[in-house]
Structure 1
């Protein structure tokens, strides 16, 4: 009984101190659509998405350019560098989103994740993603 109480207490303290630990398998094989940058909705005309695949490969669309590379997850921080990107010209609004996405992924971001939402909290930007589907 004491052991069960101690385990439950430890779990509750972990949850209250910032969430349960995110592991690589929680993030792999998902397709996420960016919905907000720093709490401001991303325009419907701007496509930004993120996929994390097998062996923690990472790819997606930052704002108007595609990116790909590999990522790591260490102590709850997702970091993807170096990322390769295409080099298309972007509208000013898409460029702002792209800078936020690439900056956050390259510098690293704390991961906050539940079953339907992924938040990447970086030094300058907080990216909010909504689960689109499960990759196969």
Structure 2
């Protein structure tokens, strides 16, 4: 009788865990992303030239800034239902070489249109309509 009760309790707990996992996965919260510096490593699975040094910082009150390709950007963003969306961003306006311009377009377009966030601890993926940006955690912001 005790074994049956323990078994039923275990099955109920496992079912609840599976249902919560299937209903959208783990929710990313702002505090999981804030105070981090991320370096862009790939776009759509293709490695980004490390000389471009594209990065993203997410700070207090969900302000964001970084290097898109050859221009710095800054502004604020929201995170709702695992979707990161930047408010209209301000940026510098330097001319980019064609390779850096492709990176810059992908970053600014993805942040502006919004992207689903997959936070894998040391790796952050922003999955937009056209681009998937893969970032590697660089360090904690001080």
Q: What is the Cα-based RMSD across aligned positions, in Å?
A: 1.8
d(CA) in 2 for partners of 1:103, 1:10 = 38
User: Which structure 2 residue ranges, 5 or more long, are not aligned?
Assistant: 1-5
Q: Residue 50 of structure 2 aligns to a residue in which SS?
A: coil
Q: Does residue 65 of structure 1 match 2:61? A: no
- Are 1:82 and 2:84 counterparts? no
TM-score by length of 1: 0.91
Shift in CA distance, 87/4, structure 1 to aligned 2, threshold 3 Å = farther
CA contact (8 A) 1:19 1:112 kept: no
Q: Which has the larger radius of gyration?
A: 2
- Which of 32, 39, 48 is equivalent to 2:45? 39
Q: In structure 2, what is the Cα distance between the partners aligned to 1:28 and 1:7?
A: 32
The 1-side partners of 2:108 and 2:133 are apart by 11
Corresponding residue of 1:49: 55
Specify the alignment match of 1:112 in structure 2: 118
Q: Give the total of aligned pairs.
A: 136
Aligned to 1:126: 132
Q: Structure 1: which 5+ residue stretches go unaligned?
A: none
Distance 1:50 1:35 in 2: 11
Judged with a 3 Å threshold, the aligned counterparts in structure 2 of structure 1 residues 95 and 134 are, in CA distance, closer, same or farther, namely same
Residue-by-residue CA offset, 1:75-132 (whole Å, 9 max, x unaligned) = 1100002100000111100000000000000000000002100000000000000000
Q: Per residue, is there more helix in 1 or in 2?
A: 2
Q: In the alignment, is residue 19 of structure 1 matched against residue 32 of structure 2?
A: no
